[in-house]
Amino acid sequence: MATMRYREALGEALREEMRRDERVFLMGEDIGVFGGAFKVTEGLLEEFGERRVRDTPISENTIVGMGVGAAMTGMRPVVELMTINFALLAFDQIVNHAAHIHYMFGGQARVPMVVRMPQGAGHQLGPTHSHCLEAMFLQVPGLLVAVPSTAADAKGLLKSAIRDENPVVFIEHESLYGERGEVPEAPTDHLVEFGRAAVRRQGSDVTVVGISRQARTAETAAEVLEREHGVDAEVIDPRTLRPLDLGTILASVAKTGRLVIVEEGWPHGGVGANLAALVAEQAFDSLDAPIQRVSGADVPMPYSKALEDVAYPHTRQVVEAALRALSEAPKVPAG
């Protein structure tokens, strides 16, 4: 195992897949000469040249559209958008084309393309650069959606995404790029399967599901719950939202009887709302307390550091939500 930063793990995945398959090429703003806004693609231009590492104009709809066309003709493009907010400019290409072409063409065409994009608050970049919008893509049939929270998963999921025959929305969190973690070293072909959640911490009192960076927050909250309150929390990181490993979450809820869902996105129609509905539909009898949701504030992300800090979840809110769930008396069977 090697210890590397999240951004380095992503770069290594790109490098390995470009060496493995000459059809893989990269497109995006400042990914070549500058090495990427977050330095994920640093050094790739020098190794693979301008034909396979392409700097593009600032035109997200065009970048993604070119990727769709290239994928349909047999290439495997990896398109980088500078932030998930800018993906809204390419929504037509992502939703109406990339996601649906395989269906509309009766299976005669595929779009094996990856759209990489960072998201998340904490850097005082204001409302047009800081939101978590995974829920918008989660709703679209035909798309796969990945939200890795560790360096190992960033590498393994990106390699799997590049090899997949479907379009993949690959969402990275800006605050994770500098985080270090253990990653299997080459020549190990480290792949992480889509649709398989990771149980980050075993527990018996309450289940905490964290999305993207909030999976890390959930782990920290579990440590606080054990140290300060004697609570044994189980932490689950879904890793991919489409496909979703609902079975692992349901099994955990059956064990603990309580569920807390933590996400950085907005509360209305978010990932947490969807997951809460699924658990309520399929595991209602397992619940001993109402499902607790912790989300970002229902506001445009503030630029002010003080306001931004209270607009997305931290450890304290997760601990409080878990304690609220535990304060509910368990159901007593009838008779």
Calculate mean pLDDT across residues 85-109. 96
- 205 and 175 housed in the same domain: no
β-strand partners of 290: none
Q: Which amino acid belongs to residue 192?
A: V
Predicted pLDDT of residue 187: 73
Is the CA virtual torsion 11, 16, 17, 19 positive or negative? positive
Q: Please, which residues have CB within 8 angstroms of residue 150's CB and are 6 or more apart in sequence?
A: 6, 179, 181, 237
Tell whether 56 and 172 lie within a shared domain.
Answer: yes
Domains in the chain: how many in total?
Answer: 2
DSSP 171-196: EEEGGGTT-EEEEPPTTS-----TT-
- Closest by CA position to 214, among listed 330, 132, 329: 132
Q: Give the CATH number of the domain where residue 256 resides.
A: 3.40.50.920
- The mean-pLDDT minimum among 10-24, 101-115, 181-195, 202-216 falls in 181-195
The residues that are catalytic are 60, 129
Task: For residues 172-188, give the mean pLDDT.
Answer: 91
Map residue 114 onto helix, strand or coil. strand
Residue 114 pLDDT > 70, yes or no? yes
Q: In the structure, what pLDDT confidence band is assigned to residue 235 with cuts at 50, 70 and 90?
A: very high
Which among 74, 77, 68 is positioned nearest to 28, based on CA atoms? 77
Of the chain, the percentage scoring pLDDT greater than 70 comes to 98
Do 123 and 131 form a contact (C-beta atoms < 8 A)? no
Band of residue 328 on the pLDDT scale cut at 50, 70, 90: confident
Quick one: 21 and 153 in the same domain? Answer: yes
Q: How far apart are CA 279 and CA 100, in angstroms?
A: 28
Average pLDDT over residues 213-222: 98
Span 240-247, average pLDDT? 98
Check whether residue 148 and residue 219 sit in a common domain: no
- Is the model's pLDDT at 137 over the cut of 60? yes
- Give the span between the Cα atoms of 200 and 11, in whole angstroms: 24
Query: Would residue 189 count as lying in a domain?
Result: no
Residues 166 and 53 reside in one and the same domain: yes
Q: Report the pLDDT averaged over residues 318-330.
A: 90
Q: Do both 210 and 302 map to the same domain? A: yes
Q: Is 334 contained in some domain? A: no
Q: Are residues 13 and 147 in the same domain?
A: yes
Which range (88-102, 149-163, 198-212, 320-334) has the least confidence?
320-334
Residue 323 in this model has a pLDDT that exceeds 80: yes
Check pLDDT > 60 for residue 141: yes
Confidence at 188, pLDDT banded by 50, 70, 90: confident
Q: How confident is the model at residue 186 (pLDDT cuts 50, 70, 90)?
A: confident
Lowest mean pLDDT among 32-46, 146-160, 176-190: 176-190
* pLDDT tens readout for residues 247-266: 999 999 999 999 999 999 99
Q: Please check the confidence at residue 238 and state whether its pLDDT lies above 80.
A: yes
Cα end-to-end span (Å), the chain: 55
Q: How far is CA 280 from CA 165, 258, 273, 274, 275, in A?
A: 33, 11, 10, 10, 9
Q: Please check whether residue 66 lies inside any domain of the structure.
A: yes
Is residue 102 within 8 Å of residue 142, measured between CB atoms?
yes
Domain CATH number, residue 36: 3.40.50.970
Q: Which domain holds residue 49?
A: 2-183
Would you say 112 and 98 are in contact if contact means Cβ atoms under 8 Å apart? Answer: no
- What does the pLDDT average to over 213-225? 98
Q: Do 178 and 203 fall into the same domain?
A: no
| Rounded distance between C-alpha atoms, residue 27 and residue 78, angstroms | 6
| 303 assigned to some structural domain | yes
For the cut 70, the answer to whether the pLDDT of residue 334 exceeds it is: no
Same domain, 161 and 204: no
The lowest-confidence range among 127-131, 196-200, 216-220, 279-283 is 127-131
pLDDT at 329: 62
**pLDDT for position 333:** 54
* pLDDT above 90 (res 40): yes
